[in-house]
Structure formats: structure tokens, C-alpha cells
Homo-oligomer: A and B are copies of this chain.
Amino acid sequence: MQSNDYENCFQIINMNNELDIFVDYLKQHNLRCTPQRNLILKIFLEMEGHVTVEDLHKKIRPEDPTIGIATLYRTMKLLIDAGLVEMHNFNDKTTYERLYMVKHHDHLICQICNKTVEFEHPLIEKYQQEVCDQHEFDLKSHRMELIGFCNECKK
């Protein structure tokens, strides 16, 4: 075990929640830890599911009415880069979803009522990797959305 292994070890032990990871990410990239960034992450983590910037802005205003919309966009981008958040674009609407420590899943999307159902299918994931291997692609992420009518709307 070499010195940077010790460091990695130390990091892993302490990286048991999103705030730690975010702070660590900021440090590693020579970015600064600010109350705005912390607050945005805190509020975001209190929200469930697929969150729009507008949702987030509304929820944050009571705690800090001065926070600017640009800072929201900037911070969400950082959270994505830090691997904590993923961005969706269902039905032409941008939403953000917690990613870290949450089981990966894909989405069924109803094109009538916009309801989404989350699922995961290990074999699909496996074959996705196979396809990438065949094409010598280094798979980093994927997007899979199954679009149709939900059980309510298909009636």
C-alpha cells in the first residue's frame, strides 16, 4: 500500500455522504466552498424524484431569497460533474435526479400524463456493455427511455 493508497482509503472512509463528496470535488478542482453551493445541495437532497430548476428555486427562496438563478444552473452543473446528479430531458423538460448512493434505473415515460416508472434490468445493462465492447467504445453512461401509454392512459 503506497501513500496515495492511504489517501484514497482516507477519502473513501469519509465520503459517505454527498456533502463530503461535493466538498472534496470542490477542493480537488480548486473551487471554493460557498454557502450558496452548500445550501443548493442541501435543499436538492431534501427533494424527491425529478426536480426542475424552477422547483429548486421555489424551495430555496424561503431560506435564501437572494440566490440567483445563474448560481443554480452553475451549481447543478458542478453536482453533475461531481457524479452526484444526473440530468434528464423527458418530454422536452429538463430535470435533475439524485445519482449517488441511489440504485441506477431507467425510465418508462407516459406520453399522455408524463408519469414515469423507474426500472432496472440487469441483462439490458449487460448487453449494453457488450455492444460497447464490440465497437471498442468506452461506455461512460447511457440513457434509455421507454415511451408509451401507462396503464391508466391506455384505456
How many copies of this chain?
2
Count residues on chain A whose CB falls below 8 Å from chain B CBs. Answer: 33
The closest CB in chain B to the CB of A141 belongs to B147
If A89-B89, A137-B108, A138-B154 touch, whether A146 touches B121 (CB-CB below 8 Å) is no
Residues of A within 8 A of B (CB): 89, 108, 110-111, 117, 119, 121, 123-124, 127-128, 130-132, 134-151, 154
Other A-B contacts than A117-B137, A135-B151, A138-B154, 16 sampled, CB-CB below 8 A, are A108-B135, A119-B134, A123-B123, A124-B124, A128-B146, A131-B146, A132-B148, A136-B151, A136-B154, A137-B149, A137-B150, A139-B148, A140-B148, A141-B147, A141-B148, A143-B147
